[in-house]
Amino acid sequence: MADVLTFTDRGIYCAAGDFYVDPWKSVDRALITHGHADHARWGMGSYLATEQAAPVMRMRLGDIQLDTIRYGEVRQIGSASVSFHPAGHVPGSAQIRIDVGGEVWVVSGDYKVVSDGLSEPFEPVKCHAFISECTFGLPVFTWDSPKDVAAKLNTWWAIAAAEGKTAIVGAYSLGKAQRILSSCDPSIGPILTHAAIENTNEVLRGQGYSLPDTVRVTAETDRKAYRGALVVAPPSALGSAWARKFGATTTAFASGWMALRGVRRRRAADRGFVMSDHADWPGLNSAIAETGAERIFVTHGYTSVFRKWLESQGYDAKIVETDYDGESLDATDTSTEDAA
Amino acid sequence: MKRFASLFTQVDQTTKTLPKVAALKSYFEEAPEEDRLWCIAIFSGRRPKRTLTTPFLRGWAAEKAGIPLWLFEEAYPVVGDLAETIALVLPPATRDSDQSLTHWINVIRTLPTLEEEERKATVLDAWDQLDPIERFIFNKLLTGGWRVGVSQKLMTRALAQATGQDEAVITHKLMGNWTPDTTTYQQLIEADDPTADLSRPYPFYLAYQLEDGPEALGTPSEWRAERKWDGIRGQLIVRGGEHHLWSRGEDLMTDRFPEFTVTPDFLPDGTVIDGEVLAWADGAPLSFNALQKRIGRKTVPKKLLAEAPVILKSYDLLEFDGEDWRDRPFDERRARLEALVHELPSEVPVKLSPLVAFETWDALTTEREKSRDLNAEGVMLKRGDSPYLSGRKKGDWWKWKVDPLVIDAVMIYAQAGHGRRANLFTDFTFAVWNGNDLVPFTKAYSGLTDAEFREITSWVRKNTQQRFGPVRQVTPHHVFEIAFEGIQESPRHKSGVALRFPRMSRWRKDKPLQEANTLDDLNDMLRIYG
């Protein structure tokens, strides 16, 4: 059977349908797994994404030619039939299933298998070849249940509130921020958001995603009037002049990297919550097993180690060079917005 | 263990002093006394001895986790800590237990008496009933290298608060060569007389570096100056007809320096002298290298004793006639010390560190400039009426070191650090030009800010030319100013020189690669300062 996809310097290419998936250079036709900046880039001739992913993409990329598709709907593009399936990564994120003459390949984009209560839950898709990320593809990464993480977050916030401090948590504006909002207990106090996050919140609320009430922080906001509030801001805002205007604060950062004590201690934040929108080690392994695929292509993350592991488990595994960032470790340090 | 794990979590989660002290204080008020004693021992560097080698632990952990050993070894450098790597890969515990800290330490201490199969069973059984943080602590106790953000100073403060005693008294009580086997919490902390143990040293008084000139210190006549010797700080105790020599790091060095066995014959009982242990010959200090050969050895061969004999350059008297003299003014202690040392026959290796006379600060500045020629690091300034305090305190004592030597060098290799510095490139090798070649001459690990380490790390990732295991050869591009305290000939190094205390003092982003210093420059420095 011929390969359904090839890996080019523009992105993942399907010759049968003459389209690319999540290309990083300008192409005519792009199928997009989700709206993060390293997957949905500016400058494509046309875009196809899920109905749920489209509004945020429009907000971020402006006036683009964007066609949408429902989860599970099959569309014929050239001689390829294509469908999108939930990836559980962020609201609207999808794995893309591509069937050419009965040979099925799936590009998973970024994914996590545990439900976060907001994103459409991950759905295993049977295939012959699976293109997987492995951002956290080492056996030291095992996430606590979302319930436990939420409990830690709320305890931290409640203690800060009791001490009269403002709790500021750094989170990417699409995905992590909303996950924090849906994990926190609004009875503890008011919730404030940075404009970069509130813009995304408004779009998602408009689509019907359920988020607690939040107050947008503007230049006019009297920040000291919200003692005991939870503030959700992009990581770059932590430690900035913007954050200092809140007076007495305690800070936290939410990322899968916080599982490592060294990274946690290196960060300037007071607390680190282990919260990731990427699959952990057990998640990657179970997701791959459930596809039934024999061929696995690993894109970003601990690719060489993970490929070797998959081979030892009997898979035909290869590394694919891409321009995807995953949840970058640098970002937890240098606060690059939106790498995940 | 749950109580200790919770203490650990509390101090590990914050970088602020107050909550750390508060958490320790409540631990010292609430934990069983045995556990308190072990907690004090752990945070004062008296961990139980390592009873297992790490290859066993790695193998057992990988097996229990159901992963191949190579995969475990790949994950280890990412985590940067073996105890943590093990704690993270293990499957969740199947049971829950709450044995005391002391219980688990005793389990660890019995391991050497067991057969290998029993050892393995014991460790696996422990892992199977501890939660991830408890496991991490257990593994830390197994593997050693315990670095928590709790200094002995913080712990002492918490103990002082918990027991209502003075901090200096607690500091004194914690000194010496006690272990949890030789004492109890009651004896160590609650009992009254800290000198009950004849070997117990006094806490050292440590000086801060004088950042600007001495002018701000006021009138020169109120101050005394000495050379700052480059040796090992030592406290010589003569009590009960025996002698003990302590290092500042609370190492008992008595056996390493047999020169001092004669001291009980000449110094009166109840004498404690503070000074610097120096390798010394013909009335002048030998290089630190000579002393270095003596430091690592528990017993000393005759040849080395003859090559690098040591003396104690004395500069303070802490106890005389069995009486604590630390509250008396420096001038009085000094006068008594001088009288004491002058009476000693010349074969006793206890000498006086002479005062450096000066009338004006300018005169002292001139004296300080002679330091390198005298094999000294600079001058010490002590206020004439000052008591002998404990620990690092500002005000009465200052060290005024000579400015370091500097050289501009090119970074050629980088290696990631461990622990807090895992995933960050922090260990670098530097080179100087020799014609068109770059000759490596030193490594350096410190001196950059966290932000600079992050910046250079991301640069190293993008500019790696070749990998040799954990070491990456990088494109020669960045020039750093390397500061160091001394330079010596070294046949072991390619460049032929070895530096003392090298560190990165400045990132010379302004300096093009070609303008870094040369091997000739380095050799010139060797001629002048070596």
- Chain A residue closest in CA terms to B16: A270
Q: Is residue A340 part of a domain?
A: no
User: Among B67, B79, B131, B140, which would you mutate to test the A interface (most chain A Cβ atoms within 10 Å of its Cβ)?
Assistant: B79
Q: Are residues A37 and A113 in the same domain?
A: yes
Contact (Cβ atoms closer than 8 angstroms) between residue A214 and residue A231: no
Q: Are residues A137 and A158 in the same domain?
A: no
Range of the domain at A90: 6-141+277-334
Q: Is residue A199 part of a domain?
A: yes
CATH of the domain at A246: 3.40.50.10890
The residues, ordered by sequence, that sit 6+ positions from B160 with a Cβ below 8 Å of its Cβ are B166, B167, B169, B170
In this structure, what are the phi and psi dihedrals at residue B17, rounded to the nearest 5 degrees? -70, -45
Pairing of strands A166-170, B205-206: unpaired
Dist. CA A306–CA A285, nearest whole Å: 10
CA distances from A88 to B13, B123, B124, B391 (A): 30, 38, 36, 56
Q: What is the pLDDT of residue B431?
A: 95
- Range B454-479 burial, b when 16+ CB lie within 10 A, else e: bebbbbbeebeeeeeeeebebebebb
Specify the DSSP element, H or E, that contains B88.
Answer: helix B82-89
Q: What is the pLDDT of residue A336?
A: 34
Give B194's pLDDT tier (boundaries 50, 70, 90). low
Q: What is the pLDDT of residue A340?
A: 34
Reference B240, options B336, B174, B319, B340; nearest CA is B319
Q: What is the pLDDT of residue A330?
A: 52
Reference B128, options B83, B97, B84, B85; nearest CA is B97
Dist. CA B229–CA B274, nearest whole Å: 13
Dist. CA A282–CA A72, nearest whole Å: 26
Angle between helices B82-89 and B132-143 (to 10 degrees): 140
List chain A residues with pLDDT less than 70: 1, 268, 326, 328-340
- Chain B residue closest in CA terms to A156: B13
- Chain A residue closest in CA terms to B91: A142
CATH number of B405-529: 2.40.50.140
Contact (Cβ atoms closer than 8 angstroms) between residue A40 and residue A166: no
Dist. CA B410–CA B334, nearest whole Å: 48
> Any idea which of A77-86, A103-112, B118-127, B166-175 has the lowest mean pLDDT?
B166-175
Q: Is B469 helix (H, G, I), strand (E, B) or coil?
A: coil
Contact (Cβ atoms closer than 8 angstroms) between residue B7 and residue B39: yes
Of A139, A142, A262, the CB nearest to B419: A262
Q: Copy the structure tokens of residue A148.
A: 């436990």
Q: What is the pLDDT of residues B380-439, one digit of tens each?
A: 999 999 999 988 888 899 999 988 899 999 999 999 887 777 778 999 999 999 999 999
Domain B205-401 class in CATH = alpha beta
Q: Are residues A60 and A113 in the same domain?
A: yes
Q: Which residue has the tokens 């209560």?
A: A117
State the amino acid at position B394 in one-letter form.
Answer: K
Of B89, B421, B422, the CB nearest to A139: B89
Dist. CA A279–CA A125, nearest whole Å: 16
Q: Is residue A339 part of a domain?
A: no
Q: What is the pLDDT of residues B498-517, one digit of tens each?
A: 898 899 999 998 888 999 99
CB contact under 8 A, A261 and B81: yes
State the amino acid at position B180 in one-letter form.
Answer: P
Q: What is the pLDDT of residues B58-106, one digit of tens each?
A: 999 999 999 999 999 999 988 988 999 999 999 999 999 989 999 999 9
Chain A: closest CA distance from residue B140 (Å) = 13
Q: Are residues A252 and A296 in the same domain?
A: no
User: Among B64, B73, B89, B460, which would you mutate to test the A interface (most chain A Cβ atoms within 10 Å of its Cβ)?
Assistant: B89
Q: Are residues A196 and A289 in the same domain?
A: no
Q: Are residues A206 and A262 in the same domain?
A: yes
Residue boundaries of the structural domains of chain B? 2-143, 205-401, 405-529
Contact (Cβ atoms closer than 8 angstroms) between residue A251 and residue A268: yes
Q: What is the pLDDT of residue A338?
A: 35
Dist. CA A132–CA B372, nearest whole Å: 62
Please state the domain count of chain A: 2
State the amino acid at position B87 in one-letter form.
Answer: A
Other Cβ atoms less than 10 A from the Cβ of B407: the count is: 23
Contact (Cβ atoms closer than 8 angstroms) between residue B197 and residue B178: yes
Q: What is the pLDDT of residue B162?
A: 96
Which CATH architecture fits B2-143? Orthogonal Bundle (1.10)
Contact (Cβ atoms closer than 8 angstroms) between residue A260 and residue B79: yes
Q: Are residues A100 and A204 in the same domain?
A: no
* Domain final residue, candidates A256, A273, A290: A273
State the amino acid at position B362 in one-letter form.
Answer: D
- Range A10-48 burial, b when 16+ CB lie within 10 A, else e: ebbbbebbebbbbbbeebebbbbbbbbbbbbbeebeebb
Q: Are residues A21 and A94 in the same domain?
A: yes
Q: Copy the structure tokens of residue B262.
A: 């004669």
CB contact under 8 A, B13 and A263: no
Q: CB of A165 within 8 Å of any CB in chain B?
A: no
**Whole-number mean pLDDT of chain B?**
90
pLDDT(B233) > 90: yes
More confident residue, B55 or B275: B275
Task: Assign residue B395 a region (left: φ > 0; alpha: ψ between -120 and 50; beta: otherwise).
Answer: left
Strand partners, A206: none
CB contact under 8 A, B78 and A260: yes
Q: Are residues A268 and A287 in the same domain?
A: no
DSSP state of B287: P
Dist. CA A111–CA A116, nearest whole Å: 12
Of A140, A263, A302, the CB nearest to B88: A140
User: Rounded to a whole number, what is the distance in angstroms from the first to the last CA of chain B?
Assistant: 53
- Chain B residue closest in CA terms to A332: B454
Q: Is residue A1 part of a domain?
A: no
* Domain final residue, candidates A254, A273, A292: A273
Q: Are residues A221 and A121 in the same domain?
A: no
Q: Are residues A123 and A158 in the same domain?
A: no
B-chain CB neighbours of A334 within 8 Å are: 454, 458
CB contact under 8 A, A263 and B14: no
Q: What is the pLDDT of residue A1?
A: 64
* Domain final residue, candidates A247, A273, A299: A273
Dist. CA A157–CA A251, nearest whole Å: 10
Reference A80, options A130, A26, A27, A5; nearest CA is A5
CB contact under 8 A, A270 and B67: no
Q: Are residues A168 and A243 in the same domain?
A: yes
Q: What is the pLDDT of residues A91-110, one digit of tens each?
A: 999 999 999 999 999 999 99
This model of the complex carries an ipTM of: 0.91
CB contact under 8 A, B89 and A140: yes
